Amino acid sequence: MHRIAIVGGGTGGTVLANRLASELQSEIEAGDVEVRLITADPNHVYKPTFLYVPFGKKTVDDAKRPIEELVDRRVTLTIEEVTGVDTDRNRLSFADRTTSLHYDQLVLATGANLEPEAVPGLAEGGHHFYGPDGAERLRDELADFTEGHLVLSVVGVPHMCPAAPVEFPLMVDAWLRERGRREDVEITYTYPINRAHGLESVADWATDLFEERDITLETFFNVDEVDPDAEVIETVEGNELEYDLLVAIPPHRGSDLVTDAGLGDDGWVDVDRHTLEATAAEDVYAIGDIADVPTSKAGSVAHYEAGVVADRIASRARGTVPTATYDGKTVCFLEAGMDEATFIEFSYGEEPYVREPSKPLHWAKLGYNESYWLTARGLL
């Protein structure tokens, strides 16, 4: 039997498992192929939902569904934590049992982890909306925030969803205006490089909107530490910024599993950017946030990568030559307030065009967030 193991039950892992169940349907039913999805979390979490939690527009429960409801019945689902990858012997080991699992092809889709404690004082002094607990705490803080200096600071690089830091200040600006509090709140956005975003077109778009909406832009701003008592941010560049409410994009890290397996020095898997095959081992792929490719850590990337890897793995399982490749396709919606949005799409080496924000695109973003569950099922 040809065994395909997928580690991680987020967007990449779930879409891939379902695509393979469809592509290899007859081989699985004949007992020639097994597609096994292994995840420590019995729930599938759709992280973009968390952006709306601080504003009371979504709840953290909206972000999750039991993974067993999302995967095809032909997929073997294992709820367990993988603790080791032996790429020489093609074996996985697990947290709570002594047995191991052989694979013929392995896909790592373990995602990114938040690590606010990597910056001194940040966990104590800062809020974030990148996970359920942080988003709920920020919601409670924002509900009582009537005056002062709100700072949105991009601290962690790389981080998930490079659009979200730009969206948050535009959304909080509109949200505060709706509540008559905007005049008493100063908003500042900080970014590590010499413009408002890594993508020039997004930077230009955001800079104009920030100016129009009285949001202060600070560039070349790399946070060194936060003093939670004094409520001051200190930067690598030697500057200080006082805040009353700090919303940070926290540092992210990959996985010790990756480093221990020798698949990437800093926790992200080194891959060929087109085939998504690990550079350090045979029979191993990586998709989604854990794969070190020169585009966004975003759900759309994981989704498109899953389609490519499904084709490559299915080809190999059938004994044919894989030809599908990933061209860096990325699609991101961008909220420009509480009731208008735009979207961008691009591939490797391309600069996107930012369309004029509109209400229909905001509705499209909200609509997609609901129909995302069809994406997870491999249908959309």
Residues that bind another protein (CB under 8 A): 157-158, 162, 192-194, 197-200, 202, 220, 222, 236-237, 266, 294-296, 328, 330, 332, 346-352
Question: How far is residue 7's CA from residue 16's CA, in Å, rounded to a whole number?
Answer: 11
What's the chain's length in residues? 380
Select 244 or 345, whichever has its Cβ closest to another protein: 345
Q: How far is the CB of 286 from another protein (least distance, A)?
A: 16
Q: How far is the CB of 174 from another protein (least distance, A)?
A: 24
Select 5 or 241, whichever has its Cβ closest to another protein: 241
Select 44 or 197, whichever has its Cβ closest to another protein: 197
Select 164 or 170, whichever has its Cβ closest to another protein: 164
Q: How far is the CB of 279 from another protein (least distance, A)?
A: 11
Select 58 or 197, whichever has its Cβ closest to another protein: 197
Q: How far is the CB of 261 from another protein (least distance, A)?
A: 18
Select 319 or 349, whichever has its Cβ closest to another protein: 349
Q: How far is the CB of 323 from another protein (least distance, A)?
A: 20
Report residue 179 CA to chain centroid gap. Answer: 30
Select 180 or 349, whichever has its Cβ closest to another protein: 349
If phi over 0 gives left and psi between -120 and 50 gives alpha, with beta otherwise, what is residue 311? alpha
Q: How far is the CB of 117 from another protein (least distance, A)?
A: 15
Which value, to the nearest 10 degrees, does the dihedral of the CA atoms of residues 40, 41, 46, 49 take? -130
Q: How far is the CB of 135 from another protein (least distance, A)?
A: 22
* One-letter amino acid for residue 49 of the chain: T
Mention every residue, 6+ apart, whose C-beta is less than 8 A from residue 338: 55, 171, 174, 175, 178
CB atoms near residue 194 (< 10 Å): 8
Tell me which DSSP letter residue 277 carries: B
